[in-house]
Amino acid sequence: MRPISWNGPMWTAAEIVDRLRERGELWEPVRGAVGLRGETLRLYEELAAAIGTLTRSVAEEEWRVPAVLDFASLARADYFASFPQWLTVASHLSSDPGRLERLARSADPAGLVGAMSDPCEAALPPAVCYHVYPRFAGQRVDSPTLVTVEGTCWRHEGKRLFPLERGWAFTMREVVCLGTRDAVETFRRRGIAATRALLATLGLGGEVLPATDPFFAPTARGRRILQALKGLKHELRLPSGPAADLAAASFNHHENFFGEAFKIRLPDGTPAASGCVAFGLERWLLAFLATHGPDSAAWPSIFPDTPWKRTVSNPMEEAS
């Protein structure tokens, strides 16, 4: 296993964020949620476009997913037992005029908002692929089916939040594959190959390593062990400082977990397998900046490469 290394100088995440703040190109009005502008925003958009091109070249179609997710779909995906620690929810204020007026006249409205809200109605999505499985519920998948989506995701990680590195709200681009077990495994391997090609284009070091999801221990310990034993998850770890790295993409085989949960079937009536390849866009930005530095003069050009394109016509063919 090669180390996650880069031979040039390397900036720390704190140094990068300080420099961007000084230039007014990054701000964080709420812990875990950043705004971007200027050259940093242009770089972010180029990276997002390169990753978007990579995913669109393999997925037959792209969806624009809603900003909220229904609790029933999350429950069906066993999310509350698997990752309750991350969940973020949306509520709106009460429609009761008396309560609204009390808030409107308050000298400290921010302190009253919680007490004036109706019960939460929906989840802010912890991953964009949770929008995809429910749309195939009860359907038959006759050939490998690929969908790409990008959207804001929400995972609350308490004191670990740090700008670009770990957001409460961050941007995820995913490709979801539904099909046979083999088709999903081929898709996953091809995703790894395409991502490695993109790393070379961007001049980034990094390594794809076996990984597990941080399942909520009291209710899902067995799943983590099985996931590791079966090699169902890999992560791309990108260097984010002289002695730091972070997971900037993941390559996941869910076996028939979502196929069973949402009754998505293959032509022979058995549950479909699924997999997803997910990219955390702000982390790519941080890794790029930690590697190439905060000054745009030193940034290499980004040429979106589309290594998956060649293989779309035969998704069962092995990745080279």
What residues numbered 138-157 form the site for a second copy, per CB under 8 A? 152, 154, 156
80 contacts a second copy (rule: CB under 8 A): yes
State in angstroms the smallest separation of the CB of 124 from a second copy: 6
What residues numbered 228-257 form the site for a second copy, per CB under 8 A? none
Stretch that binds a second copy, among 5-13, 92-100, 183-191, 250-258 (CB under 8 A): 92-100
Q: Is 2 exposed, middle or buried (0-12, 13-18, 19+ CB in 10 A)?
A: exposed
State in angstroms the smallest separation of the CB of 43 from a second copy: 11
Q: Which of 218, 222, 268, 320 binds a second copy (CB under 8 A)?
A: 218
CA-angle at 152, arms to 100 and 246, nearest 5°: 130
Between 72 and 229, CB nearer to a second copy: 72
What residues numbered 28-57 form the site for a second copy, per CB under 8 A? 28-30, 33-38, 41, 44
**What track of x and - describes contact with a second copy for positions 163 through 192 (by CB under 8 A)?**
-----xx-----------------------
Q: What residues contact residue 65 under an 8 Å CB cut-off, 6+ apart?
A: 125, 128, 131, 132, 149, 151
What residues numbered 264-293 form the site for a second copy, per CB under 8 A? none
CA-angle at 150, arms to 89 and 314, nearest 5°: 135
Query: How many Cα neighbours within 13 Å face the side chain of 64?
Result: 0
Phi, psi of 67 (to 5 degrees): -80, -15
In contact, 177 and 206? CB cutoff 8 Å: no
Q: Under rule CB under 8 A, how many of the chain's residues touch a second copy?
A: 72
Q: Which of 84, 231, 267, 300 binds a second copy (CB under 8 A)?
A: 84
State in angstroms the smallest separation of the CB of 206 from a second copy: 24
Q: Which of 43, 47, 51, 74 binds a second copy (CB under 8 A)?
A: 74
Q: Which of 8, 9, 22, 61 binds a second copy (CB under 8 A)?
A: 61
Tokens read off for 250: 């993941």
CB count in 10 Å sphere of residue 221? 11
Q: Which of 18, 19, 23, 91 binds a second copy (CB under 8 A)?
A: 91
Stretch that binds a second copy, among 13-21, 86-94, 194-202, 242-250 (CB under 8 A): 86-94
**What track of x and - describes contact with a second copy for positions 93 through 122 (by CB under 8 A)?**
x-x-x--xx-xxxx--xx--xx-xx-xxxx
262 contacts a second copy (rule: CB under 8 A): no
70 contacts a second copy (rule: CB under 8 A): yes
Phi, psi of 136 (to 5 degrees): -100, 5
Comparing CA positions, the residue from 297, 312, 287 lying closest to residue 13 is 287
Q: Which of 15, 18, 68, 214 binds a second copy (CB under 8 A)?
A: 68
What does each C-alpha distance from 285 to 10, 239, 295 come to in angstroms?
14, 12, 13
Comparing CA positions, the residue from 309, 173, 183, 182 lying closest to residue 250 is 173
Biggest distance spanned by C-alpha atoms of the chain: 66
